[in-house]
Amino acid sequence: MSKALPKRSENYSEWYNEIVKRADLAENSAVRGCMIIKPYGYAIWEKMQRALDDMFKATGHQNAYFPLFVPKSFLEKEEEHAEGFAKECAVVTHYRLKANPDGKGLVVDPNAKLEEELIIRPTSETVIWNAYKGWIQSWRDLPLLINQWANVVRWEMRTRLFLRTTEFLWQEGHTAHATEAEAVEETEKMLGVYADFAENWMAMPVVKGLKTPGERFAGAVETYCIEALMQDGKALQSGTSHFLGQNFARSFDVQFVNKENKLEYAWATSWGVSTRLMGALIMAHSDDKGLVLPPRLAPIQVVIVPIYKSEEDLAKISEAVNPIFEELKAAGISVKYDDSDNQRSGWKFAEYELKGVPVRLGLGMRDLENGSIEVARRDNLTKESRPLEGIVEYVTNLLDEIQANIYQKAARFRQENTFRIDTWDEFKERIEKGGFISAHWDGTAETEEKIKEETKATIRCIPLDAPEEEGTDIYSGKPSTKRVIFAKAY
């Protein structure tokens, strides 16, 4: 039996890293800052992809694929965008290696220098809007609703599996519209899709809001976001949706003939979520025994473990399990029957607990004689004996109950760790303990920066549902009309 996980309360960072490794989700690769996503981790990501992809298509979007390489001149066309990403860019300068003259290894061939340097995409607005110039001529070509599933590279100095890696997987939506109102509506709609996914699939409550000008995506007019609270009291930005105005259309001269027969620049949005959601899933729900997975994203929703001493016992148990297994499969539930003989049942129980399998069914000879089966829930670690008859219906309903319970637990945690603060002294004391702080801000970048410098807290968002409320900024004492959410963040 492997040693116990570190406790969240003692070393949250080590606890997180150990869960990622021991639950077989991912590991560090030979390339610094990059990760290998292992099959169990990738199975969770695939479930996320599938759900999101269905949601994108239900809202009229189509998938496409654009090049990994972005000409440097493209990035330079949108000044603010270029400045925002310049420090994170990986640059390709040559296209060939040759044998080292001293006979040892390979060297870059100086005669194979590229005419124009290529950026390995940190994001795809520029390469996509260059293509859109040939796709959009008339208002009849709009809206153009495109999504891409891809990898991106942003050179990171400090990395952590899933949360911040040099290369990561994501989706990026890029849409073009005939009017400003349509583009804003799209931006808000996709934020709603992300919030729906976070809450109903990941069982993770989020705050929908606007970023401050200082926290906006480089090149955006407005950035919308969803923010979630992790169990260590830090915020995690879990998705962003950007209204880009006409900035990229102007940079790449994407014009169309409108209904009045006049030339006009298209209006743009972009939006994305990444494998960072895997980190959010772990940190929002898991415990000191390992992963806690919401059933809707669990690769294995139900595992059945036979408890036996002889091959004859196993044969009898397997005979009883088979119709249950087939019924669960027919009900659309991903189920595994682990009758492998390389580990004892106790080891298997601990392993499936570590991997966050929502429901474990244990069946031994005594259970068989009693016409019962043991049902163990991963979310609250309870066990009970249930009749074999009707077990499939019971488990199907139980999975829905577990999904709801995981969400409610996370929502309670956020509620208990969200604080309305009105004084600077209170703010400084509370921010050290973690959580969301709802406080007044005077709307200036200067105050925002001072608070960040003194406390490391940032404005996570201006909540979309924040009511108008007269007050005074906690730091400057200047007038304010609404509260914003502050927190320390990943």
- Band (pLDDT 50/70/90 cuts) for residue 62 is very high
As a whole number of angstroms, the distance between CA 462 and CA 208 comes to 8
- Band (pLDDT 50/70/90 cuts) for residue 2 is low
SS3 of the chain: CCCCCCCCCCCHHHHHHHHHHHCCCEEECCCCCCEEECHHHHHHHHHHHHHHHHHHHHCCCEECCCCCEEEHHHHHHCHHHHHHHHHHCEEEEECCEEECCCCCCEEECHHHEEEEEEEECCCCHHHHHHHHHHHCCEHHHCCEEEEEEEEEECCCCCCECCCECCEEEEEEEEEEECCHHHHHHHHHHHHHHHHHHHHHCCCCCCEEEECCHHHCCCCCCEEEEEEEECCCCCEEEEEEEEEEECHHHHHCCCEEECCCCCEEECEEEEEEEECHHHHHHHHHHCECCECCCCHHHCCCCEEEEEECCCHHHHHHHHHHHHHHHHHHHHCCCCEEECCCCCCCHHHHHHHHHHCCCCEEEEEEHHHHHHCEEEEEECCCCCEEEEECCCHHHHHHHHHHHHHHHHHHHHHHHHHHCEEECCCHHHHHHHHCCCCEEEEECCCCHHHHHHHHHHHCCEEEEEECCCCCCCEECCCCCCEECCEEEEECEC
> Is-contact 160 17, C-beta < 8 A?
yes
Task: Give pLDDT tens digits for 43-53.
Answer: 999 999 999 99
The pLDDT mean for the chain works out to: 97
Q: Which residue has the tokens 């998705």?
A: 239
Res 220: pLDDT = 95
So what's the architecture of 295-409 in CATH?
3-Layer(aba) Sandwich (3.40)
Closest to 377 measured CA to CA, from 319, 489, 295, 451: 295
Q: What is the mean pLDDT of residues 37-62?
A: 98
323 cis-preceded (ω within 30 degrees of 0): no
Task: Give pLDDT tens digits for 449-487.
Answer: 999 999 999 999 999 999 999 999 999 999 999 999 999
Q: What percent of the chain has pLDDT over 70?
A: 100
- Domain 418-487, CATH number (from 3.40.50.300, 3.40.50.10240, 3.40.50.2300, 3.30.110.30): 3.30.110.30
As a whole number of angstroms, the distance between CA 421 and CA 415 comes to 14
Output phi, psi for 399, to 5 deg: -60, -40
CA dihedral 456, 461, 467, 469 (to 10 degrees): 30
- State the pTM of this model: 0.96
Examine the pLDDT at 363 and tell me if it is beyond 60. Answer: yes
Map out the domains of the chain as residue ranges: 12-70+128-285, 295-409, 418-487
State the amino acid at position 156 in one-letter form.
E
As a whole number of angstroms, the distance between CA 63 and CA 52 comes to 12
Sign of CA dihedral 393, 394, 396, 400: positive
**Could you tell me which CATH number the domain at 12-70+128-285 has?**
3.30.930.10
Task: Give pLDDT tens digits for 80-114.
Answer: 888 889 999 999 999 999 999 888 899 999 999 99
Output phi, psi for 349, to 5 deg: -55, -50
Res 466: pLDDT = 94
Res 82: pLDDT = 83
CA 112 to the chain's CA centroid: 39
Res 80: pLDDT = 87
Which residues, at least 6 apart from 244, have a Cβ–Cβ distance to it below 8 Å? Answer: 125, 183, 219, 220, 221, 267, 268, 269, 270
Task: Give pLDDT tens digits for 326-359.
Answer: 999 999 999 999 999 999 999 999 999 999 999 9
Task: Give pLDDT tens digits for 183-219.
Answer: 999 999 999 999 999 999 999 999 999 999 999 999 9
State the amino acid at position 124 in one-letter form.
S
Closest to 127 measured CA to CA, from 295, 265, 248, 245: 248
Res 354: pLDDT = 98
Q: CA separation (Å) from 225 to 35, 209, 388? A: 26, 6, 46
Examine the pLDDT at 1 and tell me if it is beyond 70. Answer: no
> Is-contact 337 325, C-beta < 8 A?
yes
> Is-contact 365 312, C-beta < 8 A?
no
Q: What angle do CA 151, 56, 51 make, to 5 degrees?
A: 80
Sign of CA dihedral 447, 452, 455, 460: positive
As a whole number of angstroms, the distance between CA 79 and CA 247 comes to 10
Examine the pLDDT at 157 and tell me if it is beyond 90. Answer: no
- Band (pLDDT 50/70/90 cuts) for residue 79 is confident
Closest to 35 measured CA to CA, from 170, 182, 159, 130: 159
Q: What is the mean pLDDT of residues 428-452?
A: 98
Buried b (16+ CB within 10 A) or exposed e, 32-56: ebebebeebbbbbbebbeebbeebb
